[in-house]
Amino acid sequence: AQRVTQPEKLLSVFKGAPVELKCNYSYSGSPELFWYVQYSRQRLQLLLRHISRESIKGFTADLNKGETSFHLKKPFAQEEDSAMYYCALSGVGSARQLTFGSGTQLTVLP
Amino acid sequence: ETGVTQSPTHLIKTRGQQVTLRCSSQSGHNTVSWYQQALGQGPQFIFQYYREEENGRGNFPPRFSGLQFPNYSSELNVNALELDDSALYLCASSSGQVQETQYFGPGTRLLVL
């Protein structure tokens, strides 16, 4: 069975401070990992995916297969980064369903 | 390009009733996935439709059913509503290609009393 764990429901940091949102997964195979973000009053949207290995809005995430982690990082948080962040996993298969973690609410304080 | 739309935005039903939720996929997308998001939880996969056929199902009972139409829009039907069905129902569309991105709609908020 596939599972995604986000241990922190709430995370607060000050503007300009580094931020790391943790994500651990369980999957017997080679998963595809994603970070989705939901800003206030907006729909869920893709932030980044590990296969593209790109930085979006200054965020990066590295897939660590040994630790089964896919933590999201940003060196200098901005107030506009305040949002709900969901880590998600897609396994191999025709359905390619997304399995989401329970989310981390990030608040960047001024 | 039109994004994913869902209707209605919210509705209230009583236990035992039936409900139909609708989703219009993004232009050019032939795959629709439905998710249930309970309060304080991440979205949970219900099922997916690809070219009008069910293409995968999560751990939901048969009273959750769906349809996809030739224009790739989709319906989610829930029979014999239970209190625990109260949630935000999300629809996501994708192109059906390998490693495609799923684009989410705004959701329908369902309250079962």
B60 close contact with A: CB closer than 8 A: no
CB A4 within 8 A of CB A33: no
CA angle B21, B24, B25 (to 5 degrees): 130
In chain B, residues with a C-beta closer than 8 Å to the C-beta of A103 are 41-42
CA angle B45, A27, B58 (to 5 degrees): 20
From B44, B104, B107, residue closest to A45, measured CB to CB:
B104
Q: How far is CA A68 from CA A6, A56, A83, B46, B76, in A?
A: 12, 22, 24, 25, 34
The percentage of chain A sitting over the pLDDT mark of 70, rounded to a whole number, equals 96
Q: How many A-B residue pairs are in contact by the CB < 8 A criterion? A: 56
User: With bands split at pLDDT 50, 70 and 90, how would you rate the model's confidence at A95?
Assistant: low
A51 close contact with B: CB closer than 8 A: yes
For chain A, the farthest-separated pair of C-alpha atoms sits apart, in whole angstroms, at 45
From A9, A88, A94, residue closest to B55, measured CB to CB:
A94
pLDDT digits (tens, 9 = 90+) for A24-73: 999 888 888 999 999 999 999 999 988 777 778 999 998 898 999 999 99
The pLDDT tens digits along chain B (113 residues) read 579 999 999 999 999 999 999 999 998 889 999 999 999 999 999 999 988 999 889 999 999 999 999 999 999 999 999 999 999 999 999 886 655 788 999 999 999 99
